[in-house]
Structure 1
Amino acid sequence: MSDLLQAHPVATLLIDGQGTIVEANQAAEALFNRARAALIDRPAGSVIIWREGEGLSRMLAEPGKSVWAYSVELSIHADSNLFADIALGPINPAGGWRVMAIHPVPKGGRMPFRRPGSAARSAGAAAAMLAHEIKNPLSGIRGAAQLLGKGSDANASALSRLICGEVDRIAGLIDSMQGFTRDQALSRTSINIYPAIGQSRGIAAQGFANGARFIEEFDPSLPRVLGNHDALVQILINLIKNACEAASDISKLQIRIATAYRHGLSWDAGDGRGHQPLPVEIMVADNGPGVPDHLVDALFDPFVTGKKDGQGLGLALVDKLVRDMGGVVQHDRTAGWTRFRLHLPVAVDPPAESNE
């Protein structure tokens, strides 16, 4: 076991049933800047300190399960913090022994599950009120422009089309803002993800993604998820549209949509429920230029965009809708491919009624 740990290139710890570190490899010594002798025989919680909450103790409280935590901010030694992905898996379930791998990631390299605070909610409510007040006069402006265009004057008709086009553009922007600021709970039911995937791809292929090559890699055995069909369609359309708008040549763009079941994947949203399993993954990937490095940390924040005419609301809405469905969205880029991964909960079928 010791030789296997030492050969592992990722910082790895062996933890016994009492939560004590009993072995550490060389990568862990380098990560924590401590010799092996200073790591073993110490409680894991005194070495791996989460900056927020009690995530490690929750992970260790589930000895028989494999658990992942992404983009966790850790304090590893004095005046030194880092972000890391953590994988914890059982190697001796009866004795409660686990092996933990800690892989440092750039801040924002993976997007953590974010919870908007009261300030964000207040700003959202104000934006929703403003959007409502703006949309009221827009309908009147559009109606007046249509009347103007009914005349025989060619210039008037052109002006009418220009006004109507701009009104529709502004109305579309406001619809996006209202979707982002909407605070009521999303209705969630048991859904099959594949009709939503097919619908979103069909809409995209007939419009903004016309000319792009779609690649599908589906797991046909996936269970139904607890979600919202319309929200999932909107999420996937936004991700596909984001890839198309970033591409310089749509005919060379490849968009991969893949599904998979990730055994053991769970997530702690910090809402007191502990780790919730999110095993169903939908991935939308593209071979476009990717997200500029300076925007990665704020990728899912509203009004953040690297596109000249972008509004910066598409990915913010994706993040919100995925969270509303009880899931999480992640971003990464490797080997020339940008990937957005949606992790969603499985729908639990109600117990069968007894006839007794």
Structure 2
Amino acid sequence: MNIYSLPGIISFTINFSMGLIVLLDNPRSSLNRWFAAFIFQFALWNISEIIILNSGSLGNALLGAQILYRIIFLAPAFFVIIAYSFPKNFHNWTRHILFYTAIFAVPVLCLSLSFPEFQIQLVPLKKFHNIYYYELEYNSSLSFIALLAISIIYIIWGTLVLGLKIPRLRTVRQRNQTRFLLFGLLTIFFIFIVINIMRTIFERAVSFYFLSTITTFFISLFFLIAILQYRILKISRLISSGITYSILSSVILVIYFLIIQSLSESLSHFFNINSNLLQAFVILSIIILIRPLSTRLQHIFDRLLHKDIHQYRHNFFKLSQNLLTYYPPNIFFQKVSAFLAKNFKSDQVLVFIPDEQQNKFYEINMTGNSPRIAFDSGFIRQMLHIKKVVELYELEHKTLDRNLLEFLEKNQIRLILPLIFHDELLALVLLSGKKQGRDYSEDELEILSIFANEIAIAFHRNKIVEKLQQKERQRFRLQKLAALGQLTSGVAHEIRNPLNTISTAAETLQNKKLPPQGQNQLLQYILEETNRLNRVLNDFLNFSKLRPALFRRVPLEQIIERVVLALETSLTEKIEIISQIEQRQKDIVTDQDFLYQILLNLGINSLEAIRERCEKDENFRCENGKMQILVRHDAAGWVIRVIDNGIGIPDDNAESIFDPFFTTKKSGTGMGLSIVHSMIGTLGGDIRVRSKKGQTEFIISLPAKIEEGV
């Protein structure tokens, strides 16, 4: 091996890696197989140059020259086949094996007729008489002229095929890829022809060698850019590992030629050991040492090649988390549109959602004179059939409504994302061209297809939540109407009874002559019923127009003591009242008046329940009555329990005790517990009740942290 073969070895490494990447990505694809063979042909070209440069004798160098000669004149045949196959084959007859055979038969026949007089000669590099390089030898032989003519015809043929194919391609991406392929291959052929024609002006073979080496590097660079930047083929899985392999192999080769070869010769001479064994040992050591870098290098390339994808994944995760919350459709798609505009650089994002009443899709923001798209239109049928991201050019324009097509073209729509869930088209997302006129890549189209599926699922979940909320609002509306009816009925009932008593007493006083004692009794009835009406109205007003709570930090023990004192003052029986606070000197942030009224009302109810048990239970005396107010505080908040051993609440009444005007007492208005329930809700807490015969427990839960003054 000599250093002159280093560029060829590096080029071979790159070309061979790219060929493997193309072939292994989709071995069943005819295009992948032919494109891989085309690249492998240039890798074989590199091998031929390596053989020529490293041959110690003229006979060995001729072997490489003969291989190279055949490759040069077979390359145009590959170009014709690639021209028909890429990116889409419009001619079925070119897929037949007879077409491939005929394309290669002509140059192979001419090469056979030229044997063994191939028009290529070897020239030694100056100062290195044992190192040879090649150059074509031009003469007027019939076989050589035929080969040149066939090569030129094939190049023109392939150029015309690609050039005429460009207007027939629907997508701009395919057109750009085809232009790049055509320009690149023609440039390769042109440079090769120019170098070989002008070689006569080169004074030294070394100059021709350097120009040919540049051509070799240009070919490798072309295939690398074609696969990486323009995505000539849909390469995705193997690309980072292939590039990593190429770079590491090239690094090892450079180290070998610059360091190992000269170092091993010196060491082998010094230690008197075999030079080849020492070189093998050193190369193996370098491979082992450099191996840990491959994973890191592959990761770096993966990040560089798929930088946008990694950023997209991060941003999409944030969007997914955000869309877990319910949003109205307009807000939902505002977030989706902002995400698409930011991550895919789309100039404009339009969203069409269905109108179930009119059976049409309409643009959610009513942009300009946006048309409505009927459910049974050709456009919608195509979307339901395709079920993935589609470019506007790929649609059958004959089935599209004229106004819709004009609207899409006017807004420069490029992509349509159908949001489909279980064969139901939930919405349509339309993307215009990207900013700065750039095109959507294959990776972006695949990402958008996945994105459309994920957003369809999120929007479907959003619609489910919306329907549940509508049902909940409808149920709540019905409950409000039922409660209003019940409330109205209760108010009417509570007012009608006192009014009947007042009316009867007034008519009696008016129509009958009663003694003073009878008159005073009727007047007392009227006064009592009037006071009762006043209580009913006050309770109703307190319930319906409860003032906002005013939170202040107050000693809880002081409120409990006031409640106990008020209850004990009202007692005529010997009922025991117990209060207990687990943590004394503890302040609570609450509305002092509300909490006092809540505990006082519950305490009054407990005492009345104990009295009722005294009347109905022969085995129970009021002296055995007991009421407790127990307070506990923890991290979750305050828990206040009001317990009595009274008559208890029947199971049938347990769910109704907090309803307005519900009462089982002869003199009650039925508003006490309703007001208690409303006040506790205003304080941000809740109340539960547990009751059985002989014991009732009201459990109040209040939050631990509330800002003062709220």
**Larger helix proportion of the pair:** 2
**Larger strand proportion of the pair:** 1
Please identify the structure whose Cα radius of gyration is greater. 2
Does 1 or 2 have the higher relative contact order (CA < 8 Å, sep 6+)? 1
TM score, norm. by length of structure 2: 0.26
